[in-house]
Structure formats: C-alpha cells, structure tokens
Amino acid sequence: MTDESIHLPRYLKVMRDKLPSQFLISQSINVDFRRDSDIHDLWELHDEAMKSFREQLDRVNSLDELLPRASSSLLDLKATIADNILQNCHFCERRCGIDRKKKKTGYCKIDAISRCSAEFLHRGEEPELVPSHTIFFTGCNFSCVYCQNWQISTVPKSGIPILPEEFVRNILLQRAFGSRNANFVTPTPHTHTILKILNMLHKNVPVVWNSNMYYSSEVAKLLDGVVDVYLGDLRYGNDECALKYSNAQNYWSIVTRNFKTAYNSGEILLRQLVIPNHIECCTGPIIEWVKKNLPNVRFNLMFQYSPHYKACEFPEINRELKREECRKVVDILKISGIEDVMV
C-alpha cells in the first residue's frame, strides 16, 4: 500500500522522514524584520513570506531538498507576532484583549506562562498517530459542562511551567523512543509557547494541533506553515447548543471557518463526539456539512461520551449514549457517503 492510498498521506511521509514538517520549511524561509516593528508591518511581511513558503512546500520532494535554516526566518516572524498578540490577547475568538505579559488573565485564566499537566507517549489516539507524544496543556478557552478533564481545564496554574528548551529535549527524546508526532492538546491559549518550542526544534517531527478549533483568524494564519495535522473537534451543529454546553458564542461560523482554512493548509483528522439527545441538532448537520465542505477529511465518529463535571445539572445529557442512538448515527453516516470514517 502506498502513502497516497491511505489516510493522511503527507503526514505519514513526514513521520517516515520522507518529507519535512511544515515548521521546518518555515524555518528555511528568510524574512528580514525588526522585532519591534508595528504589528501591521509584521503581518504584511508574514503574508508576503507565505508566498515563498507555498513555493517551497510544492518544490521540496524529500527531506534532503530542504533549504538550510535562515538566520531570520518565517518561523521567527510567526513567533514574534504571537508574542506581540500576548499584549492584547486574541488567540481565541473570545478576543479578551488582556495583556498577559503583565500577568493578567482572560477567559482561559492563563497568563504568559504556559503550564503542562502531563506529557507522555499516548497509545489511545487514532491509529495513524500512535504512539503519540501527547502534551497536555492546562487551561481552556471553553467551559464544557461535561468536561472529563475539568480538573486541568479549570485550574490552569496547577500544571508545571513550560520551559521551551526543556520541551525541545523532551520531544527529541520521545522521538528517539518511537513517537510519531508532537501532539499539542488544548493548544490555542499557548500558541506563543508552542511556536517558541518549534522554533528551537531542528528534528523532523510531524506537528499535531489537537484543538476545539475555536481560535482566531490571526492564529489560523500563524498555524499555516507550521501544523501538519489538525486533530480537530466539531462538536456542535448550531450556536445554541455550543453556547449552552460550552459557553462558546458564534461557534458554528468560527469553527467551520477554521476547518476550511485548515483543509487548505494541512491535513485534518476530525472528531465528532456524539452527545445524547443531540443527533438531529448537532451530529446530523455536522455530517452533512463535512460531506459538502471537507470531502477528503479523516472522520472519527466517537461514541465515548460520558457525563462528567456539571453534566448532572443538564438532565438531557446526564447519561451515556443508547444503542439505538449509536445505530441511528451510523445510518446517517452511511447515507452521507463520507468514505474515510472511523467508528
């Protein structure tokens, strides 16, 4: 079986060192800039440099063809822009505008220091990813009432502060132990830290962005040229359910926009968690949208829902799925014609 005939073909080539990860290509693109320049000027340079990135992405057919690292690179520029955004934080679409460099916090309760709750070789992810070097960040820009990791997401300062240099060593070590990727979980509030880590990394490692996809259009631009696989949740089929259960406004337009952008900049492994009593309002519309807009996506239909945290306050979701609900969803998926499916 060739790489072209199976799931996530470019990711697999990067994992096998046949192609360079996107962040390594960004390291090779020269961009002359001043770190104290106005943010608008930095974005103009960024958008122009992305044209060179596209050319290199199309040109490079092997890891050996990768150009040397530039002294002042596109990835340097991306990290600088992310650091600038910290002063008026809009990593996610809540756009709190908080100056996190002054130890202030917004909705995610995270200041400029990122923290990690755990990192290890994870064997419970999708088959293409395992063993995956999974890095769990603390904090979250959602407030899911059924969150199974609420101890981590609601107490962001409970984790260990991240030193980028140390995590570069950890990524190299886990790669030597057989990890297939660096899998950043709940990454959006930590975009600045992740870009710093990758900018210090010289090893060819696929980058997985394990996200609720509720990030800003600016972050989408920063991730373009960095992320190889978007491991994204598409949870709700409408804004009402997203607001009720995750306190996320304008969910549908934001998350579908980001999936479309990701579809053009990397490969997608989409997760759809089926929630009790939410087949008609959420799962059904999501399947229909994916079929029309992401025809070549890797679709993971998940029946693992279990009520946690505050789910007891919402009787309609305070239970596990029934067999008939699972069968109904599978039938909807079959009718849709989506081909690349995990159940």
**pLDDT tens by residue, 211-262:** 999 999 999 999 999 999 999 999 999 999 999 999 999 999 999 999 999 9
Task: Tell the residue number behind the tokens 């990690």, with chain if given.
Answer: 116
* Residue (of 112, 120, 196, 185) closest to 153 by Cα position: 185
Amino acid at 93: E
Taking residues 73-78, report their average pLDDT. 98
Residue count (the chain): 343
Q: Is the peptide bond before 161 cis (omega within 30 degrees of 0)?
A: no
Strand pairing category for 160-161 and 115-122 = antiparallel
Strand, helix or coil at 215? Answer: strand
C-alpha–C-alpha distance, residues 333 and 288, integer Å: 9
C-alpha–C-alpha distance, residues 37 and 312, integer Å: 51
Across 87-114, b (16+ Cβ under 10 Å) vs e yields eebbbbbbebebebeeeebbbbbbbbeb
Task: Give yes or no for residue 280 having a pLDDT over 70.
Answer: yes
Is residue 197 within 8 Å of 167, Cβ to Cβ?
A: yes
Taking residues 318-329, report their average pLDDT. 96
* Residue 312, C-beta contacts closer than 8 angstroms, at least 6 positions apart: 318
**pLDDT tens by residue, 289-301:** 999 999 889 999 9
**pLDDT tens by residue, 140-164:** 999 999 999 898 888 888 899 999 9
Q: 118 forms bridges with which residues in the sheet? A: 136
Task: Tell the residue number behind the tokens 């063809």, with chain if given.
Answer: 65
Whole-number pLDDT of residue 50: 98
Whole-number pLDDT of residue 116: 95
* pLDDT range class, residue 6, cuts 50, 70, 90: low
Q: What are 49's two structure tokens?
A: 């440099």
How far are the Cα atoms of 52, 141, 144, 240 from residue 250, in angstroms, in the given order? 34, 14, 15, 9
**pLDDT tens by residue, 52-75:** 999 999 999 999 999 999 999 999
* Order of strands across the sheet that contains 341-342: 160-161, 115-122, 132-137, 182-185, 207-211, 229-233, 267-273, 298-302, 341-342
* Residue 186, C-beta contacts closer than 8 angstroms, at least 6 positions apart: 136, 137, 138, 139, 140, 153, 210, 211, 212
Is residue 278 within 8 Å of 307, Cβ to Cβ?
A: no
Task: Give yes or no for residue 4 having a pLDDT over 70.
Answer: no
Write out the DSSP string of 120-176. Answer: EEE-SS-TTT-SEEEEEES--S---TT-TTHHHHS-GGGSEEP-HHHHHHHHHHHHH
Q: 116 forms bridges with which residues in the sheet? A: 137, 160
**pLDDT tens by residue, 90-127:** 999 999 999 999 999 999 999 999 999 999 999 999 99
Strand, helix or coil at 320? Answer: coil
* Domain boundaries along the sequence of the chain: 3-342
Cβ neighbour number for residue 270 with a 10 Å cutoff: 24
Element (H, E) at 80: helix 74-85
Task: Give yes or no for residue 2 having a pLDDT over 50.
Answer: no
Is residue 193 within 8 Å of 119, Cβ to Cβ?
A: no
CATH 3.30.70.120 fits 3-342, yes or no: no
* Residue 292, C-beta contacts closer than 8 angstroms, at least 6 positions apart: none
